[in-house]
Amino acid sequence: MFQALKNPTFARLYTAQAISLLGDALTWLGLALLAVDLAGDRAPGILATALTCRIVAFIVCAPIVGIIADKLDRKSILVGTHVVRMLLVGLLPFVQTVWQLYAVVLLINIFHACFTPTYQATIPIVTQPQEYAPAMALASVTYQTLSMIGPGLAGVMAGWLGARTIFWLDSGSFFLAALVILSVRQPLTVASSSPEVAPQTSYWSRLTMGTRLLFGDGFLRYALLLQLVGAIIGGQVLVNTVSYIRSILHLSDREYGWAMMAFGVGMVIAALIVAATQKYLARHWLMFGGAILMIISMFFADRSTFLGLILLWLCVGIGKNAIDLPTQIAIGDRIPKHRQGQVYAAHFAWSHLWWGFAYPLAGWLGTAHSEWMFSISGGIGLAVLVFVQLSFAPAASSHEHEAISHVHSHKHELLHQHGHDGGIHVHAHDHPSIEHTHFYWLNDHQHH
């Protein structure tokens, strides 16, 4: 997995991502402390609203930036989003009212929605094919590792420097990440594979291009719908673990921290498994197995002891990333490079839309059916999985090729000549991904 760091361009982008992720940990812990300062007992409601603003920003803004990311130098987008977030985070120490907090959080996440899919779409263009899957796995491991240790480091810094002061450190982390990206020498642009300028299309068509490509590819459609299963189960872990630890098991926040760390460790383990087996194990079986593992774990969670919950949440984490990471890798494999910005952005928006459904569901189950909340979510996840598997699972004997752009030279019939020299002209066009099926006869191999 670390072989990808031998690529100097990816190594710089990876370093910037790691610094940025550490800054994100500072941001969210600082926001929680700031919410307590501003509203006291109303802080949970304020944080829930802030998370809602985050999801809305992701869903609305990601498809728009997908269009931009496929047209401009992505370096300017990556640097610009860091600089703007640096300035916005620098405003947080001066926030005095709740509405100011909401406004800054919304703006920060608008630019976060610009950064993340652009970064994901940039990895395929700076890595060789053999480096791409390990690079994505390394990025995932880093994200999960910093998600585990970042809040602890942020808490130490907050206790040492004060809640509002850590925002200055956070702002500095974004500035440092921007400098690292600026050190990348090559332009991060993706030229269309067509030698001619594409005809003008409507803004709506360009805005929905990523979604149409995402749902138009059978495997990616299946993978995205499996992520709905992951969100339904993962939402239970993120929302209801704290109430189970405190109210059912009567334990403290320390045990809650261990349970959430087990979930994160599971996701790291899954990233290592994907990196090690991606050449040998079919992705759709890996993802299906991850979904099954998450669902089974839920059915045992409602009556679990603390140690049992640690093991179950470890399994849920493994299953979650066994779904998520192959999906991200598959986009880089199956979508033309000059469309990947739009597709990664569409995937970012849709996958967060699933969480927009999963969070309220988890909250309702935790309130109305707290005794069986995990089992009920497992049943819902199982129903969704059965539907997806029966309706959208890719056939074992089919595969798809990446969309290609190529040139045809042809001659019109005599009555159809219209001004081309010799009646011959050249045009370039894109073919969408095409599914192929193998038919085997006695002594022939027909491929269509």
Give the pLDDT score at 150: 67
Q: Residue 349 carries which side chain, given as an amino acid letter?
A: A
- Report the DSSP beta bridge partners of residue 399: 436
Give the pLDDT score at 372: 92
Give the pLDDT score at 436: 42
CA distance 352 to 324: 12
With 50 as the cut, is the pLDDT of residue 420 above it? no
| Confidence grade of residue 380 (pLDDT, cut at 50, 70, 90) | very high
The residues, ordered by sequence, that sit 6+ positions from 8 with a Cβ below 8 Å of its Cβ are none
Pair of tokens at residue 86 = 């640096």
With 60 as the cut, is the pLDDT of residue 428 above it? no
C-beta of residue 322 within 8 angstroms of C-beta of residue 265: no
- Report the DSSP beta bridge partners of residue 439: 446
| Confidence grade of residue 152 (pLDDT, cut at 50, 70, 90) | low
Please choose, from the candidates 245, 231, 220, 219, the residue with its C-alpha nearest in 3D space to the C-alpha of residue 380: 231
Among 46-60, 108-122, 206-220, 303-317, which stretch is predicted with the lowest mean pLDDT?
Answer: 46-60
Q: Which helix (H) or strand (E) holds 431?
A: strand 424-431
Mean pLDDT of the chain: 78
Give the pLDDT score at 155: 66
C-beta of residue 423 within 8 angstroms of C-beta of residue 417: yes
CA distance 210 to 347: 8
Pair of tokens at residue 107 = 């703006």
Q: For residue 295, give the 3-state DSSP assignment.
A: helix
Q: 279 versus 420: which is more confidently predicted?
A: 279
Residues comprising the chain, all counted? 448
Give the pLDDT score at 148: 65
Among 11-25, 76-90, 91-105, 412-426, which stretch is predicted with the lowest mean pLDDT?
Answer: 412-426
| Confidence grade of residue 440 (pLDDT, cut at 50, 70, 90) | very low
DSSP state string for 346-361: HHHHHHHHHHHHHHHH
Question: How are beta strands 424-431 and 398-400 bridged, if at all?
Answer: unpaired
Q: Write the CA distances from 369 to 304, 364, 377, integer angstroms.
A: 16, 8, 10
| Confidence grade of residue 421 (pLDDT, cut at 50, 70, 90) | very low
> Which domains are present in the chain?
1-186 (1.20.1250.20), 210-393 (1.20.1250.20)
Q: 300 versus 22: which is more confidently predicted?
A: 300
How many Cα neighbours within 13 Å face the side chain of 99?
A: 0
Give the pLDDT score at 390: 93
- Mean pLDDT for 76-99 is 90
With 70 as the cut, is the pLDDT of residue 254 above it? yes
Give the pLDDT score at 202: 64
Report, in angstroms and rounded to the nearest whole number, the Rg of the chain calculated over CA atoms: 24
DSSP category for residue 408: E
Pair of tokens at residue 180 = 């690292």
Please choose, from the candidates 206, 232, 321, 224, the residue with its C-alpha nearest in 3D space to the C-alpha of residue 273: 321
Look-up of token digits 């779409």: 121
Q: Residue 439 carries which side chain, given as an amino acid letter?
A: F
CA distance 315 to 262: 9
- Mean pLDDT for 29-34 is 75
Q: 422 versus 328: which is more confidently predicted?
A: 328
Give the pLDDT score at 165: 79
**Torsion, CA 172, CA 175, CA 181, CA 183, rounded to 10:** -100
CA distance 186 to 125: 11
Q: Write the CA distances from 80 to 75, 86, 319, integer angstroms.
A: 8, 10, 35
Give the pLDDT score at 378: 95
The residues, ordered by sequence, that sit 6+ positions from 329 with a Cβ below 8 Å of its Cβ are 132, 133, 136, 274, 278, 283
Pair of tokens at residue 419 = 């001004």
